[in-house]
């Protein structure tokens, strides 16, 4: 073991002991995972359920220990893989390690927080590690590792399922016409069918746990919040389903009385989005979610299905509200995307980087161009998803922070390398 490796080991051992000595954090989402709620993906719920069953009152410390150990192992696997592929120097490698470790510190505390990020982040890093091996190191046998980790990740945080078709897209760019030859075609079909495998496993879990063969809801209850914010009273006339119409009327009346509608806030679009950002929990959780759940509870008294019925109502009314108020909606949606990338300039740069790397990979597939395309798509897609389904808070954005180091290093090497 070199002195450099020994110093890193001692540093992360010290961090592990420090974080493990901190108290476990119960966030509002923790209780829904512990309760195996129907709107939570199975991965983290099962993880907590098993550890609570085995360790009883001591399980929180065990959860934190596992999350920290798993996370630090994933960080080193990913960082070492990037160092090997990109031939990174020590300074860049240490910078990458620092950014990768950042989410374990305040205010995110993902190792101490009893929430799905504690598993999702390490799974994400390991998936990227195997994906890099597959795409950039010709290690095609890693399809097995990719499949297993992608399934576990998607069953923990469902938004990552899109990585499977993204890998298929990148593999087509890499192999071109050869993608239809054996065994390349097998890998392409694998990436395209993995979402269906996740779908079946997810639905099977809910059938066992809740008696319903359904996938975990997407969380349209969150996504409908922005359409509700820009909605008008007369939008109720466009809603054909009586339940949707009544829930909308109840919600809109409450939001109007609280002054939490775009038409009531005044100011320009930036000021409107700031109010939406600050008041998102009130608009979503304390208004639409509460009132829709209460409405269905009074009508059906089926507590297990009320969350699903609220999701269905939100999903049905959302496109109608967007259509009726598309100018205001997309103006604020764009501002949400800008905030997700911390400004208009980073948004433009990411878009240009994605376009440049796409045309570069069409011309010829290289490690640098392929990696730039992969990372830029992941960054932009996450920003769009966050703006669509929620608001840009650190909990949803931190996953891709480390890409800044990788992109900067790759661009520096491309600029300074000899033609």
pLDDT digits (tens, 9 = 90+) for 238-290: 999 999 999 999 999 999 999 999 999 878 999 999 999 999 999 998 899 99
Please indicate, yes or no, if residue 324 is contained in any of the structural domains. Answer: yes
Let me know whether 383 and 300 are in one domain.
Answer: no
Let me know whether 170 and 251 are in one domain.
Answer: no
User: Structure pTM?
Assistant: 0.95
Please indicate, yes or no, if residue 252 is contained in any of the structural domains. Answer: yes
Q: What is the pLDDT of residues 360-375, one digit of tens each?
A: 999 999 999 999 999 9
Cα–Cα nearest to 395, from 382, 381, 376:
382
Q: What is the pLDDT of residues 19-48, one digit of tens each?
A: 999 999 999 899 999 999 988 999 999 999
Question: How confident is the model at residue 300, as a pLDDT?
Answer: 83
Let me know whether 272 and 195 are in one domain.
Answer: no
Burial group, residue 358, by CB count within 10 angstroms (0-12, 13-18, 19+): middle
Question: How confident is the model at residue 258, as a pLDDT?
Answer: 94
Q: Higher model confidence: residue 305 or residue 119?
A: 119
Prior bond of 88 cis (ω within 30°):
no
Let me know whether 243 and 377 are in one domain.
Answer: no
Question: How confident is the model at residue 81, as a pLDDT?
Answer: 97
Question: How confident is the model at residue 2, as a pLDDT?
Answer: 87
Count: domains in the chain? 3
Longest dimension (CA), the chain: 71
Of 307, 330, 353, which residue is a domain's last? 330
Q: Are 65 and 374 in contact (CB under 8 A)?
A: no
Per-residue pLDDT band for 303 (boundaries 50, 70, 90) equals low
Q: In the predicted model, is pLDDT for residue 419 greater than 60?
A: no
Measure the CA–CA gap between 361 and 170, rounded to whole angstroms. Answer: 9
Count the residues in the chain. 419
Let me know whether 290 and 416 are in one domain.
Answer: no
Residue 35, CA distances (Å) to 25, 47, 246 in order: 17, 12, 30
Range of the domain at 189: 3-212
Let me know whether 203 and 230 are in one domain.
Answer: no
How far from chain centre, in Å, is Cα 162? Answer: 10
Element housing 221 (H / E): helix 220-223
Q: What is the pLDDT of residues 358-414, one digit of tens each?
A: 999 999 999 999 999 999 999 999 999 999 999 999 999 999 999 999 999 999 988
HEC per residue, 307-373: HHHHHHHHHHHHHHHHHHCHHHHHHHHHHHHHHHCCCHHHHHHHHHHHHHHHHHHHHCCCHHHHHHH
Please indicate, yes or no, if residue 137 is contained in any of the structural domains. Answer: yes
Residue 340, CA distances (Å) to 101, 297, 326, 343 in order: 20, 36, 20, 8
Let me know whether 180 and 117 are in one domain.
Answer: yes
Let me know whether 376 and 305 are in one domain.
Answer: no
Average pLDDT over residues 53-67: 96
Q: Which two tokens stand for residue 88?
A: 């990174």
Q: In the predicted model, is pLDDT for residue 194 greater than 70?
A: yes
Element housing 48 (H / E): helix 42-55
Of 188, 212, 236, which residue is a domain's last? 212
Please report, rounded to a whole number, the percentage of residues in the chain having pLDDT higher than 70.
99
Per-residue pLDDT band for 301 (boundaries 50, 70, 90) equals confident
Let me know whether 235 and 136 are in one domain.
Answer: no
Q: Apex CA 89: angle with CA 87 and CA 94, to 5°?
A: 120
Please indicate, yes or no, if residue 336 is contained in any of the structural domains. Answer: no
Measure the CA–CA gap between 411 and 418, rounded to whole angstroms. Answer: 13
Let me know whether 195 and 225 are in one domain.
Answer: no
Let me know whether 311 and 241 are in one domain.
Answer: yes
Let me know whether 384 and 315 are in one domain.
Answer: no
Identify the DSSP state of 268.
Answer: -
Please indicate, yes or no, if residue 335 is contained in any of the structural domains. Answer: no
Q: What is the pLDDT of residues 150-159, one digit of tens each?
A: 999 999 999 9
What integer best gives the mean pLDDT of the chain?
Answer: 94
Question: How confident is the model at residue 304, as a pLDDT?
Answer: 66
Of 309, 330, 351, which residue is a domain's last? 330
Average pLDDT over residues 126-142: 96
Question: How confident is the model at residue 404, as a pLDDT?
Answer: 95
């Amino acid at each position: 073991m070199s002195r450099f490796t020994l110093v890193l080991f001692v540093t992360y051992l010290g961090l592990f002991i420090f974080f493990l000595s901190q108290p476990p954090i119960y966030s509002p989402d923790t209780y829904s995972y512990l309760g195996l709620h129907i709107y939570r993906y199975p991965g983290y719920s099962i993880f907590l359920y098993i550890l609570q069953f085995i360790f009883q009152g001591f399980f929180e410390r065990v959860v934190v220990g596992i999350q920290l150990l798993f996370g630090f192992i994933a960080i080193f696997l990913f960082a070492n893989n990037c160092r090997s592929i990109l031939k990174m120097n020590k300074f860049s490698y240490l910078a990458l390690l620092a950014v990768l470790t950042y989410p374990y510190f305040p205010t995110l505390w993902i190792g101490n927080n009893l929430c799905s990020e504690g598993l999702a982040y390490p799974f994400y890093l390991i998936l990227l590690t195997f994906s890099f091996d597959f795409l950039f190191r010709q290690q095609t046998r890693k399809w097995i590792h990719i499949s297993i980790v992608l399934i576990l990740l998607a069953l923990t945080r469902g938004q990552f399922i899109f990585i499977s078709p993204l890998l298929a897209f990148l593999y087509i760019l890499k192999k071109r016409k050869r993608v239809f030859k054996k065994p390349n075609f097998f890998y392409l079909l694998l990436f395209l069918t993995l979402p269906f495998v996740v779908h079946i496993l997810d639905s099977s879990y809910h059938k066992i746990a809740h008696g319903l063969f359904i996938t975990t809801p997407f969380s349209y209850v969150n996504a409908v919040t922005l359409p509700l914010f820009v909605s008008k009273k007369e939008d109720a006339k466009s809603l054909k389903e009586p339940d949707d119409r009544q829930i909308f009327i109840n919600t809109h009346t409450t939001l109007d009385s609280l002054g939490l509608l775009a038409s009531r806030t005044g100011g320009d679009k930036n000021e409107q989005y700031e109010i939406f950002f600050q008041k998102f929990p009130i608009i979503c959780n304390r208004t639409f979610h509460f009132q829709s759940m209460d409405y269905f509870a009074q009508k059906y008294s089926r507590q297990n299905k009320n969350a699903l019925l609220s999701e269905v109502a939100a999903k049905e009314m959302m496109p109608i509200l967007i259509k009726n108020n598309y100018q205001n909606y997309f103006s604020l949606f764009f501002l949400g995307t800008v905030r997700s990338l911390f400004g208009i300039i980073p948004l433009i740069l990411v878009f240009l980087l994605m376009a440049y790397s796409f045309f570069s990979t069409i011309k010829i597939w290289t490690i640098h161009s392929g990696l730039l395309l992969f990372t830029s798509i992941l960054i932009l897609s996450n920003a769009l998803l966050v703006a669509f389904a929620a608001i840009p808070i650190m909990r949803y954005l931190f996953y891709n922070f480390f890409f800044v180091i990788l992109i900067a290093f790759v661009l520096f090497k491309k600029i300074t390398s000899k033609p």
